Structure 1
Amino acid sequence: MKTVITYGTFDLFHVGHIRLLKRLSALGDKLIVGISSDEFNALKGKSSFYSYEERAEIVESCRYVDEVFPEHNWQQKRSDIERFNASIFAIGDDWEGKFDELKDLCEVVYLPRTEDISTTEIKQNLSALNGQDLDKIETSLHEVIEIVKTLSIK
């Protein structure tokens, strides 16, 4: 069995995330996703709209993902690859060359990001909205999460 491992924040889950996870899952038999914990995001100077628990639930509901786990620090990748017996470490090409030191453990693959979409851009567009608009969006997103829960997509 060929296991693929990847990492990300997966905030404001969008079609770019889905397309990336689909391509990652096609590289092997099992896709395992490390999701940045809220504490790790804080160390990186990032904040997420959704909590780790919510982001993990969203990503885990994607049919391309077999398992999720928390990423607490940069250094854990090596031990995670060994723990999950991963054959491939894959991540977006905006990280090109940053994880080449893992090549002694497994194949390292950098995949192109989906063009014309990014979480950063979505957040910038959302920041231009007023509070009432944001409340409506948040309510809608929580409704989508509840629908996904009931569908048990796997």
Structure 2
Amino acid sequence: MPRTVITFGTFDVFHVGHLRVIERAAALGDRLVVGVSADALNLRKKGREPVFSQDERLAIVAALKPVSAVFVEESLEQKRDYILEHGADVLVMGDDWAGRFDEFEDVCEVVYLPRTPAISTTALIEKIAGSV
């Protein structure tokens, strides 16, 4: 039976850290489903609009070879619904969220992957803005 992995992110200003987490998540199963944060969710979560629109970010993530399917994550509170809706066997999140999603262990395995050191979308945006 195929093993489905699900992960979530904004994936704004796509960088090698994003690619690595997607590759590592995909390696944990046969099928990778990715929830891309809605523009409105990103604004609520981070207090700023993403650099790239929701549609652009969906297209970038969907084009990646390890990704089987993408969808818009409208709300952080709906993670359980998304896991069940997509039949996920494994939820993968960055270790900056360690422990925050353990409540879903009743419906799937929860794995926290280490982030790629010294790579941050926020830091990249600040660096770009500072050099303009």
One fold, TM greater than 0.5? yes
Larger radius of gyration: 1
Q: Confirm whether residue 21 of structure 1 aligns to residue 31 of structure 2.
A: no
TM-score, length of structure 2 as denominator length: 0.95
1:107 to 109, 112, 120: 109
Cα deviation code 1:82-140 (max 9, x no counterpart): 1111000001000001111111110000000111211111011011122xxxxxxxxxx
Matches within 5 A, 1:116-131: 116-130=118-132
Percent sequence identity over aligned pairs: 48
Which residue matches 1:33? 34
Aligned residue pairs, count: 130
Q: Distance in 2 between matches of 1:124 and 1:42?
A: 17
2:96 to 94, 97, 109: 94
Unaligned runs of 5+ residues in structure 2 are none
Cα deviation code 1:38-93 (max 9, x no counterpart): 11112212321000000000011111111100001111110111111100000100
Matches within 5 A, 1:2-151: 2-44=3-45, 45-130=47-132
Q: Distance in 2 between matches of 1:43 and 1:18?
A: 24
Which residue matches 1:135? none
What is the letter of the counterpart of residue 86 of structure 1? A
What is the letter of the counterpart of residue 23 of structure 2? K
Q: Which moved more, 1:43-52 or 1:8-17?
A: 43-52
- Counterpart secondary structure, 1:13: coil
Q: Distance in 2 between matches of 1:38 and 1:31?
A: 22
Q: Distance in 2 between matches of 1:55 and 1:15?
A: 15
Q: Distance in 1 between matches of 2:82 and 2:127?
A: 35
Q: Distance in 1 between matches of 2:9 and 2:49?
A: 13
Unaligned runs of 5+ residues in structure 1 are 131-154
Q: Distance in 2 between matches of 1:4 and 1:53?
A: 22
